[in-house]
A and B are shown apart, each in its own frame.
Chain A
Amino acid sequence: MTIFELIGFGPNGWGLAMLLATAMTIALALCGFSIGCVIGVAVARAKLSKSRLAVVMADFYTTVLRGVPDLLVIYLFYFGLSQFLSGTVTFWCADGGFLLGLLQPSAITPGLCGSRGFIELPRFLIGSLALGVVSGAYQAEVFRGAYGVLSRGQIEAAKAVGMSPFLMFRRIIAPQVLGYAIPGLANVWQLTLKESALVSVIGLVEILRQSQIAANSTFKPFYFYVVAGSLYLAITAVSTYGFSRVEQHSLRGIRRA
């Protein structure tokens, strides 16, 4: 079988599976990035706040999550959430165990109740949460840096015309900070996209996992990892182009040297 048959869309080809896996990678990275965006804004807000406790906690969060390998974070979420839930199952089993069963029918097996077993959570959820928590730490730094560029006069002016804090955030702060943050956000997006490959270790079928499966069943690992690499390159290239367009658009009102 030639390489084109292997990676093509024919009866023996893995093309369709690889494309579906690509969609999964993109969905996973997007979910992780969006969760990270919410966390990033909240943590950046904490870093800029007057409360010392909030600042210390936010600094701790970004230091730890940026200093610890992402693989460990994924393990923590995969095994740790199960550890946490199996602790609660024993507690709930007497009356409320069915609640968990409703959330994830396969999670509750008769033998599990009352024993400390392993509860399987949806892998996509675990993966995007883990990615989001890490990318949130990076995004917090990006947002904080971008907020620093905003001139104080604008905030004073917004207060002077009587804007509520929410309105000021929505009309004045968010649009400008987002504009300045785009180059940094583009970096974080690339990082998140590449880290999404690590989620393959918990068995989610994204690009890397799919190419592993294909490599193992065809004994052609080289071809499939080259395909995997090319797919990531394609996503990277397209998103670099996209971000540069968005950047041009969002900074169109700013005079540059």
Chain B
Amino acid sequence: MDMSYMVDVFLELLSGVPLTIQLVATSTAAGMILGLLLAFMRMSSSAAVRLFAQTYIFVFRGTPLLVQIFLIYYGLGQFHHTLQDIGLWWFFREPYWCAILALTLNTTAYTGEIFRGGLQSVPFPMIEAGRAFGMSRFVLFRRIVFPIALRQALPAYSNEIILMIKATSLASIVTMMEITGLAYKLISETFRAVEVFVCAAAIYLVLTFVITRVVQGLEWWLSPHLRRDPKWMMRRDGDRHYAKSQAASSGGL
């Protein structure tokens, strides 16, 4: 492996990062809202709504994402006259929008199940206490249910975001030049797969690492009750200054 070639490859691949981030950000943001909606539908009291949500989840989790992308991008092309007539063709003509739509629909199914787990883990007494305070349903959701559910769901949700980062690579098959698309181009031009793989893998791992850290920070922020008392931590570390200051302050009193 020669280093100058690696540097070239790395710089070339970096130019695909914005598109990857764009795809991930748009589809996870949309998937979060739709997923929350789906979670509510899945827990609805109407059997028809529940059945719809269950079918949606079964279909989108049970088929490969690549099939979903092909179905939207190539499959809907079969109906392009109809789509033109109703004025939606500009959307389904673009691989960018098709990829985002497929990624969003796919992550919605997974996110819905994650959120449902989170929402169902909120202890009922907390909801009762909120009601006893006279909170409206919306305030109860915003202040009590959602923060607790989010905290419960975060570890699983961070996994889902990482899966999404990996999933955006499939957009390269419908001609999107994100990291994997550029990597494929470089490999098929030079046949130096190992060097290109190492560079692309490094970029993906950095992205994954950053996401994991951000979510961990969010989790820490949402769970103040689990944080250790800083003084207690100091004592556990055997910090003599702490002990000394304690002694001094108690002596001073």
User: Interface on A for B, CB 8 Å cutoff?
Assistant: 63-64, 67-72, 75-76, 78-80, 82-84, 86, 116, 118, 190, 194-198, 200-201, 208, 212, 215, 219-223, 225-226, 228-229, 232-233, 236-237
Distance in angstroms from A214 CB to nearest chain B CB is 12
If over half of A's interface residues share one DSSP class (helix, strand or loop), that class is named, otherwise mixed; here it is helix
A130 to nearest B CB, angstroms? 12
In the complex the two chains form, is B71's CB within 8 Å of A197's CB? no
9 contacts between A and B (CB under 8 A): A67-B204, A69-B165, A75-B183, A75-B187, A194-B63, A198-B66, A212-B70, A226-B71, A232-B62
Bound-state CA distance A232–B169 (Å) is: 21
The reply to whether A197 and B67 contact each other, CB–CB distance below 8 Å, is yes
Given contacts A76-B193, A233-B58, contact A226 B65 (CB under 8 A): no
Q: Is the CB of A225 within 8 A of B193?
A: no
CB-CB under 8 A from A237, the residues of chain B are 62
B251 adjacent to chain A (CB < 8 Å)? no
Q: Does B200 contact A (CB under 8 A)?
A: yes
How far is it, in angstroms, between the C-alpha of A238 and the C-alpha of B8 when the chains are bound?
Answer: 48
| B156-198 Cβ-contact flags toward A at 8 Å (1 or 0) | 0000001001111110110000001001100110011110010
Q: Contacting A225 at CB < 8 Å: which of B74, B165, B205?
A: B74
Contact residues in B for A118 (Cβ distance below 8 Å): 191
Interface size on B, residues (CB 8 A): 41
Interface pair A67/B78, CB less than 8 Å apart: no
Given A68-B205, A225-B70, 4 extra CB contacts under 8 A: A69-B168, A75-B187, A208-B67, A212-B70
Assess whether A222 is in contact with B59, with CB atoms less than 8 Å apart: no
Q: Are A229 and B194 in contact, CB atoms less than 8 angstroms apart?
A: no
Q: Contacts A70-B166, A222-B79, A233-B59 known; A197 to B66 CB distance under 8 Å?
A: yes
Known A-B contacts A69-B180, A215-B74, A221-B75; A232 and B64 likewise in contact (beta carbons under 8 Å): yes
Quote the shortest CB–CB distance from B13 to chain A (angstroms). 11
* Contact A67:B208 (CB < 8 A) given known A72-B169, A83-B193, A212-B70: yes
